[in-house]
Amino acid sequence: MATPTLDKVEAQSAASPYITATFRIRRFNPEVSDEVQWQDFQIEIDPKERVLDALHKIKWDIDGTLTFRRSCAHGICGSDAMRINGKNRLACKTLIKDVNPEKPITVEAIKGLTVLKDLVVDMDPFFQAYRDVMPFLITKGNEPTRERLQSAEDRERFDDTTKCILCAACTSSCPVFWNDGQYFGPAAIVNAHRFIFDSRDEGGEQRLEILNDRDGVWRCRTTFNCTDACPRGIEVTKAIQEVKRALITRRF
Amino acid sequence: MPAGTLYRGREGMWSWVAHRVTGVLIFFFLFVHVLDTALVRVSPEAYDDVVATYKTPIVALLEYGLVAAILFHALNGLRIVAVDFWAKGPRYQKQMLWSVVGIWVVLMVGALYPVLGHAVREVFGS
């Protein structure tokens, strides 16, 4: 029984799915140099693997100093947003075959946040904007003894914006945010939207006041980069527009 | 530290860039326009001289460029209003952009004769 199994393995390796792909990674290490540099890595990899697998291969087999964030590696934790071929994506949700491995695949840190090392950026301003919109349930009066009930229609109202994983792909794709980090950014507005339009929440008025600020929703120039970049498919620009309209009509 | 490669945005981002560029161009035109119109208060002869230079073919070409910039800025402006105020606007932004481009092309063809007719007669004779 052992021999046929061996034959099968040999037949498989003959038709190797592997290709040679070049990864052009933007390296930055402040302990070595203030300059950034592009470094090419050539690796043998199955194009059906993800860009994150390629980064792992490089880090584990070629250059251990390559630095990037990742945690769950399955598109839920939102750690590995990076700019792949010029566009913000999650490395763990991007298949190599989808980013044209014929040419060198460029990988760089997301834009608009300070690069700490290689692909790792300082996320503090991003999460500060998130905290500033108070992303938690605000209620008045006595706590009910049971759950706070909500109809399916009321839940549907903000369903899209509950999907956010806070990866910063949207905020760091926004030209307004690149120019001025004071702008709340799409992700914070999406998370404000999630509570503003929640029928159980009573802090909508406060959140709207926060976003009525000069660095709030009015700085959105509807470039739709955020909607295109969102790995969860949230219609980010639409959510921002709904907050704008809620500010004008005070109906939410 | 340099910002890295150009972000590969799609229609939305490039229409925003075009909106900004045409907006700045229109501002420069208005700046010149206020100056040349104000010149009539200084000296009507100088004003006539300046306006006479506007009849040259090169300025006619610039005028055609101005028509192009204003038409795009105006039409895309309507699209942006729709994106912000029409509930389905964000979902149809690409279709609206291509409609804007389509209407823009038609109007630009329509503007060919009124704007450039005089210059063509001047250059090639009538």
Is the Cβ pair B1, A28 closer than 8 Å? yes
Residue-level pLDDT at A9? 53
Decide if B5 is inside a domain: no
- State how far residue B103 is from chain A, nearest Cα, in angstroms: 21
Assess contact for A107 and A26: CB atoms under 8 A.
yes
Q: Where are the alpha helices (DSSP H) in chain A?
A: 2-14, 51-57, 124-132, 152-157, 175-179, 186-196, 204-211, 225-229, 236-249
Condensed to tens digits (0 to 9), the pLDDT of residues B13-42 reads 999 999 999 999 999 999 999 999 999 998
Is the Cβ pair B4, A108 closer than 8 Å? yes
Residue-level pLDDT at A4? 53
Residue-level pLDDT at A2? 52
Decide if B113 is inside a domain: yes
For residue B77, what are the domain limits? 10-122
Decide if B14 is inside a domain: yes
Condensed to tens digits (0 to 9), the pLDDT of residues A49-77 reads 999 999 999 999 999 999 999 999 999 99
Assess contact for A42 and A20: CB atoms under 8 A.
yes
Residue-level pLDDT at B23? 96
- State how far residue B98 is from chain A, nearest Cα, in angstroms: 15
Is the Cβ pair A106, B7 closer than 8 Å? no
Facing residue for B13 by CB, picked from A111, A175, A238: A175
Condensed to tens digits (0 to 9), the pLDDT of residues B87-119 reads 999 999 999 999 999 999 999 999 999 988 888
Assess contact for A181 and A205: CB atoms under 8 A.
no
Q: Which residue of chain B is at minimal alpha-carbon distance from A174?
A: B13
- State how far residue B22 is from chain A, nearest Cα, in angstroms: 15
Residue-level pLDDT at B102? 97
The answer to whether A228 contacts chain B (CB < 8 Å) is yes
Structural domain count of chain B: 1
How much is the mean pLDDT over chain B?
Answer: 91
Facing residue for A223 by CB, picked from B1, B9, B87: B9
Decide if B57 is inside a domain: yes
Listed as ranges, residues in chain A with pLDDT below 70 are 1-14
Decide if B89 is inside a domain: yes
Residue-level pLDDT at A13? 56
CATH number at residue B86: 1.20.1300.10
Decide if B112 is inside a domain: yes
Set of chain A residues whose Cβ sits within 8 Å of the Cβ of B8 = 85-87
Residue-level pLDDT at A7? 55
Set of chain A residues whose Cβ sits within 8 Å of the Cβ of B90 = 222, 224, 227, 235, 237-238, 241
Facing residue for A224 by CB, picked from B1, B12, B84: B12
Assess contact for B33 and B115: CB atoms under 8 A.
no
Decide if B107 is inside a domain: yes
Tokens read off for A167:
């990866």
pTM of the model: 0.87
Decide if B95 is inside a domain: yes
The answer to whether A111 contacts chain B (CB < 8 Å) is yes
Sign of CA pseudo-dihedral A96, A101, A106, A112: negative
Residue-level pLDDT at B1? 44
The answer to whether B4 contacts chain A (CB < 8 Å) is yes
Q: With a CB-CB cutoff of 8 Å, which residues 167-206 of chain A face chain B?
A: 173, 175, 178
Facing residue for A108 by CB, picked from B5, B9, B11: B5
